[in-house]
Amino acid sequence: MSEDLKILDEVTQSEYKWGFVSNIESDNAPKGLDEDTVRFISNKKSEPEWLLEWRLKAFRYWLTMEEPVWANVHYPKIDFQDIIYYSAPKAKPVLNSLDELDPEIKATFDKLGISLQEQKRLSGVAMDAVIDSVSVKTTFREALGELGIIFCSFSEAVHAHPELIKKYLGSVVPHTDNYYSALNSAVFSDGSFCYIPKGVRCPMELSTYFRINSAGTGQFERTLIVAEEGAYVSYLEGCTAPMRDENQLHAAVVEIVSHTDATVKYSTVQNWYPGDKEGKGGIYNFVTKRGICAGDRAKISWTQVETGSAITWKYPSVILKGNYSIGEFYSVAVTNNMQQADTGTKMIHIGKNTKSTIISKGISGGKSQNSYRGLVKINKNADNARNFSQCDSLLLGDKCGAHTFPYLEVNNKSAKVEHEATTSKVGEDQIFYCNQRGISTEDAVNLIVNGYCKEVFNQLPMEFAVEAQKLLAISLEGSVG
């Protein structure tokens, strides 16, 4: 990532001016959702007819569906007609210097250890500091293009690589899958497309961090990653900056296709606005993420660190279709104050000798509720399938809750499925021990919690792991009395 940071630094110094300001007003769709909204979005993106039809099909299907209520989360009913489904990126207020920045945001930046240059970019100080997405793309594309790797926005891919999009869009998460994936399929604004050709090992971590055009259009994001035979890619979904997105509802869809002998690693750090201490505001994050190990010995590994959002509803899953394919899920989900999280994974074993690992670490503080929900399904023909699940919950204080909902469906006698679960509290003894060595209570809690999450953090690329640790510290502030 240090190489990436260097590039970031270079482009933040460049003279490019962000040119979105003039046409912003006309780029908003009218509030509400009907077929015209879907057409409006498709039209805005000059999409081909087949994609419009695909969206409309999803929309019509969505109309027949009911909002799911089974998750262990509570919130007032969403008015889907009260949402603007398409809006161009908003121009941020231009500040003359960092001194004009909200001191609270400045303090958060400092805690995250974000460089001054980067702080300027994030808070919109002087427009020329804003990343020139075009030049970033160019820098990356030259290197990646030589290897035949495609990494671009979804809208671009629709035009540049329609055959690939047609082939794979909706192949892992069909629009009929669930309420929010249907909604996303109808109105998705943009997202990322990533394609690694046969036998290619992607030489750098691919990160959405560098795609500025996703800011403000991330509400209904669509990501598609395809790794051809023997390919390898590590993909980071960056929401690592303390940018507070005020959009109420996020319903993203991520699809991954991993072919024979291919490996896809997908890491997320999510820190969207969790609402205030009383639970006002905050993002509803209802995401469908699924990958398929389509060929033999394919591998998909999800790593997620969830610290933000008022409500999280998210189950990154793997369909293990190829023989000897491997699915992994490593998760840290932190809830504090009034946050609610219902998250986990699904591992669907179809191929023979398939293997899955689930490591989930839930941390709850304040009055938050944290649920793990996981399905391990072994199909009839999945001989010698293996699963190991470990679900740990850590409680900070006595007003929060941790819940575990493991579902096991085993239809093959040769399967071996293991599930371990623990619930523990950060002990007074542990905190006192740290205190007695000169470590303050707040630092002690961070140290203990980070130790508890180590297995998951170890799965993250280094720079990302450091960031995750800092985020954790911020999320847990004031969680222990």
Partner 1 sequence: MLIIKDLKASVDGKEILKGLNLEVKAGEVHAIMGPNGSGKSTLASVLAGRSEYEVDGGSATLEGEDLLDMKPEDRARAGVFLAFQYPVEIPGVSNANFLKTAVNEVRKSRGQEILDSKDFLVMMKERMKLVEMDKAMTQRSVNEGFSGGEKKRNEIFQMAMLEPKLSILDETDSGLDIDALRIVSNGVNALRDGERAFIVITHYQRLLDYIVPDFVHVLYKGRIVKSGTKELALELEEKGYDWIKEEAEALNA
Residues at the contact surface with partner 1, assessed by CB under 8 A? 427-430, 432-441, 443, 447-448, 450-455
- Residue 32 vs 397, nearer CB to partner 1: 397
- Residue 29 vs 426, nearer CB to partner 1: 426
- Residue 326 vs 434, nearer CB to partner 1: 434
Q: Going along 336-368, which residue ranges are E strands?
A: 340-349, 355-364
To the nearest whole angstrom, how small is the minimum distance from the Cβ of residue 195 to partner 1? 37
To the nearest whole angstrom, how small is the minimum distance from the Cβ of residue 394 to partner 1? 11
- Residue 122 vs 448, nearer CB to partner 1: 448
8 Å CB contact between 410 and 384: no
To the nearest whole angstrom, how small is the minimum distance from the Cβ of residue 421 to partner 1? 16
- Strand ranges across the sheet with 206-207: 206-207, 232-239, 263-270, 299-306, 326-335, 355-364, 386-395, 416-425
- Residue 408 vs 447, nearer CB to partner 1: 447
To the nearest whole angstrom, how small is the minimum distance from the Cβ of residue 361 to partner 1? 10
To the nearest whole angstrom, how small is the minimum distance from the Cβ of residue 303 to partner 1? 16
What residues are paired with 5 via a beta bridge?
A: none
Nearest to 260 by CA among 351, 328, 173, 387: 351
Q: What is the DSSP string of 193-226?
A: EEEE-TT-B-SS-EEGGG-GGGTTTGGGEEEEEE
To the nearest whole angstrom, how small is the minimum distance from the Cβ of residue 440 to partner 1? 5
Q: Which tokens sit at 293? A: 């190990």
- Residue 29 vs 445, nearer CB to partner 1: 445
CB half-sphere exposure, 270, CA atoms < 13 A: 31
- Residue 46 vs 436, nearer CB to partner 1: 436
Q: Which amino acid is at 277?
A: K
Cα–Cα separations (whole angstroms), residue 463 to 18, 61, 210, 278, 448: 28, 42, 15, 33, 20
To the nearest whole angstrom, how small is the minimum distance from the Cβ of residue 429 to partner 1? 5
Q: Which tokens sit at 399? A: 């007003």
Non-local (6+) Cβ contacts of 88 within 8 A are 20, 23, 24, 27, 28, 216, 217
